[in-house]
Amino acid sequence: MKLTGSEIFVEALKREGVEVIFGIPGGVVLGLYDTLYRQDDIEVILTRHEQGATHAAEGYARATGKPGVVLVTSGPGATNTVTGLANANMDSVPIVVFTGQVSTGLIGNDAFQEADIVGISRPCTKYNYLVKDVNDLAQTIKEAFYIATSGRPGPVLIDIPKDVSQNKADYKPIDKVYIRSYNPTIQGNQWQIKRAAEAILRSKKPIIYAGGGVVSSNASSELKALAEAFHIPVCMTLLGLGGFPGTHPLSVGMLGMHGTYWANMAIHNSDLIIAIGSRFDDRVTGRVADFAPQAKIIHLDVDPTSIRKNIHVDIPIVGDAGHVLADLNKVLHAKGEGDWGKIREPWLKQVEEWKKKHPLTYRHDAKIIKPQYVIEKIYEITGGDAIVVTDVGQHQMWTAQYYKIDKPRRFLSSGGLGTMGYGLPAALGAQIAYPDDLVIEIAGDGSIQMNIQELATAVIYKLPVKVFIINNRYLGMVRQWQQLFYEGRYSASVLGQKPDFVKLAEAYGAAGLRAKEPNEVEGTIKEALKIKGPVVVDFVVNPTENVYPMVPAGGAINEMIFDDPVKAKEATSKKGKTEDSIQTA
């Protein structure tokens, strides 16, 4: 039967199981929005900015594993999605973004609200399309969802000219798609898997380095089975948190620039690194020349271009983490008889000694709120049972350090691009996906203002997200680097005390709370959790608190700063002691 392009668009989305679309309408997509208005299967969420729509789709996708969908208009509507596209591309998040375009006959004529979004977005999408014929629309949508969700997930953009959405064509549902030039490798090479198994069985000091690929491939159970059976400690990247339980005895937490001392020391001193779904980012490796000098490296990743891009590896395995780990576990159990608890006991004891030597610590203060204390209290009060979303900055690192994530898809953050403004809209996407779950966003006073207009979206759609702002009146991470490496010249990093976040929350129709002293923190968190709707909590914290431990730029990951030497000296002279003035997390 003949349908308009707009009708084909909606029918194709239904066949992909799409339940929600995030976006903002505009002239060239009014036909698409009108068709969406006349159906009941797909919910349309009107955000207040196209970047917010894209991040919301990311939050939905990361929380569910299903692709997030965005629909925006041409020109500025399309260009406003670029940051979200780049973020999803860096972090391997499956989203499909539909942008409107001027009619095909006007393309290239600088028509009103025309932008070459295909050209603009090409470097930051997994693939993109300009649909020039309505007869190609259904096939293009099917291919887009397949590309976005298979292999290494990522964003796909489809640009739809206005006349394509208006023209009619015979609609035939597309059930299968085959792209000759695109065939991701899912099953790992069996010979390489055998080599990896042999290396693991020979190793005396192995460590698993788990990245976001463990989460996106749903490989958490296979990873846990490997670690437990062969007593191998597990460290995680920021995006890998939750891929292995954070409270598990074999978890050594996050590695890298602000990772735990014991995770970094285990990596540096290991004889075998089993890297799964990770890409050896510079924030993980530190100085590449001195990264894990004694270790052989197994690198398992579905994306062949990520292997050996930054670090030489000895045993590369291309394939889906879930499938490869299942095969690897079978080979290991067939070959690996032995008392692995006893065999690995000296190595695990060494890791535990590193943990005792430099645990996560911060200086307690009875008069001023420490941000680490806020995170600890949020974790304690929620029992770790929340979907936690962060923005980017110091609060992001403190959350990664002090909030233990035990399940996959329960920690959402911007990793590769480090996008301030990601957190609030991503939290809304997660809340829409799981309306009955507690969703918490932890933000900085700088990052929350990047997309704070999405509070209106939270209020209008009755999304009970709890926004906890770590308010230090600075661009905190910038200030920390300026303090440590630029002699305290705080150039353009001072935010001051504006705005009043409580009044701002109330202006949007949300609840606003504030805590200024440590004894107010626990009660304020509990009060926020009792309120049914969206809540903004302003925690006025120590403005000069730094994130430690820290690997300075250009340093090796075993070269870590544990405190500001000047502050440490001052604390020692005032109190006559150091250890007793440090609160251990």
| Rounded Cα gap, residues 547 and 183, in angstroms | 43
DSSP readout, 369-417? B-HHHHHHHHHHHHTT-SEEEE-SSHHHHHHHHHS---STTSEE---SS
Return the structure tokens found at 403. 């909030």
- Laid out side by side, the sheet with 95-101 consists of 43-46, 20-24, 68-72, 95-101, 155-161, 127-130
| Rounded Cα gap, residues 79 and 427, in angstroms | 22
For 301: left if phi > 0, alpha if psi spans -120 to 50, otherwise beta; the answer is beta
Q: Which spans in 150-243 are helix H?
A: 162-166, 190-202, 212-216, 220-230
Give the 3-state secondary structure of 233-275: CEEECCCCCCCCCCCCCCEEEECCCCCCHHHHHHHHHCCEEEE
| Rounded Cα gap, residues 23 and 274, in angstroms | 40
Please tell me whether residue 206 adopts helix, strand or coil conformation: strand
- Residue 66 falls in the annotated catalytic set: no
Return the structure tokens found at 46. 């009107």
Catalytic position from the list 9, 16, 22, 50: 50
- Residue 468 falls in the annotated catalytic set: no
Return the structure tokens found at 271. 């004889």
Return the structure tokens found at 273. 């690194």
- Residue 453 falls in the annotated catalytic set: no
Catalytic position from the list 257, 265, 477, 560: 477
| Rounded Cα gap, residues 207 and 27, in angstroms | 54
Catalytic position from the list 112, 172, 335, 506: 112
Return the structure tokens found at 84. 């979200």
Asked if residue 499 has a cis previous peptide bond (ω within 30° of 0), the answer is: yes
| Rounded Cα gap, residues 287 and 280, in angstroms | 11
Give the 3-state secondary structure of 97-146: EEEEECCHHHCCCCCCCCCCHHHHHHHHCCEEEECCCHHHHHHHHHHHHH
Catalytic position from the list 113, 139, 350, 453: 113
Catalytic position from the list 66, 126, 162, 355: 162
- Residue 291 falls in the annotated catalytic set: no
Nearest Cα neighbor of 444 from 493, 500, 393 is 393
- Residue 113 falls in the annotated catalytic set: yes
Place of tokens 């966003």: 441
Angle at which helices 518-530 and 371-382 cross, to 10°: 40
Active-site residues, by number, are 50, 112-113, 162, 477
